[in-house]
Amino acid sequence: MEANGDTSACNGYSDKQRKDVRVWCDGCYDMVHFGHANSLRQAKALGDKVIVGIHTDEEITKHKGPPVFTEEERVKMVKGIKWVDEVVLGAPYVTTLKVLDQNNCDFCVHGDDITMTAEGVDTYHLVKSANRYKEVKRTAGVSTTDLVGRMLLLTRNHFRQGSAEYDIEKEDSAAKSPWTGCSQFLPTTQKIIQFSDGKSPNPGDKIVYVAGAFDLFHVGHLDFLEKAKKLGDYLIVGLHTDPVVNSYKGSNYPIMNLHERVLSVLACKFVNEVVIGAPYCVTEELLEHFKIDVVCHGRTPIALENGKIDPYAVPKTRAIFELIDSGNEMTTERIVERIISHRLEYERRNQAKEKKEIEAFEALQRQKQTQKAG
């Protein structure tokens, strides 16, 4: 459905006087990932300001099951996405015209999947009926349900080497939701361009470099990058390849493959550029190529390359290395611990969501067939 968005022509505004088009998006935003960010990017393209409503823990638990992250963590993550202008906590699970009007929003935007209450009601039926709803394409290949599923399957072979480096193994199932029962994420250069600022450093900018896995991009990463950005003007993040991450993280890490991690980091408002597949050791060549002024690392332990080489030896010799305390104790491992410690709860949540979405999809298909026959 098309929304009645404001334009300068139909409202008699000149370009300078034109009223900002305010776009409303809402959701749980649990385990914020590049799929959420891509939806918000598309929403921003439909207006001037993106206002994001976030459901409370209580509402999410009632309709979907327990969230992985707290309200505070979810709000912080959404605020860190570069296309978000305002965040509102306490958004109702069913989007109403009242909530749009209270936040001066012209219309609501959501992905082309179906979101339902615990009772099976379309959460956007009111704004759809009022013609104040627009749809964008959801990002195939990722969802919170899918990421939780990966962590629940950590005993399986998530991490692969060689030709299967970027594969994420999926649990076999006879029936999968077309929305959250994800297929393999397929990266493209266009998607990276859409997420990238495309801006080079200005002459005289102080350039800061950090590197790591940044797996399951979370509030700890966000706080660290915010502090790193304050040390300069332009922040470059080096992302290690999957085999390199596995060499120092072990187990079945990383949970997200390199391409997924690139988009998650690029969506962060503090990040200007990403080096895809950065070398583990920060070399003279890398420092010279990017004209780096400061190299940072967090308080997490630094693994030696081959058990003996300090990856930050060169910047330390140059006296441009700094340790940053983000003040946040969150790690990727802690997120996995949250999921594993509540394994049965999250398994039930995932299964219930899959079942509900399959039923909704089948009903939608029947409706389309009926309309076609009529």
pLDDT on residue 323: 97
Sheet (strand 321-323) strand order: 273-276, 234-239, 207-212, 294-297, 321-323
Handedness of CA 196, 114, 5, 107 (dihedral sign): negative
Q: Is the peptide bond before 254 cis (omega within 30 degrees of 0)?
A: yes
d(CA 135, CA 39): 9
pLDDT on residue 174: 40
Q: How would residue 361 be classed by pLDDT, with cut points 50, 70 and 90?
A: low
Burial 151-164 (b: 16+ CB within 10 A, else e): bbeeeeebbbeeee
The CATH class given to the 20-139 domain equals: alpha beta
Q: Is the pLDDT of residue 88 over 90?
A: yes
Q: Is the pLDDT of residue 3 over 70?
A: no
pLDDT on residue 171: 41
Question: Domains of the chain: which residue ranges?
Answer: 20-139, 193-322, 335-373
d(CA 33, CA 27): 13
pLDDT tens digits along 101-116: 999 999 999 988 778 7
pTM: 0.81
Q: Is the pLDDT of residue 352 over 70?
A: no
**Between these two residues, 172 and 313, which has the higher pLDDT value?**
313
Give the residue from 138, 135, 79 showing the smallest Cα distance to 267.
79
Within this chain, domains 20-139 and 193-322 share the same CATH topology: yes
Q: For domain 193-322, which CATH number applies: 3.40.50.300, 3.40.50.1820, 1.10.10.350, 3.40.50.620?
A: 3.40.50.620
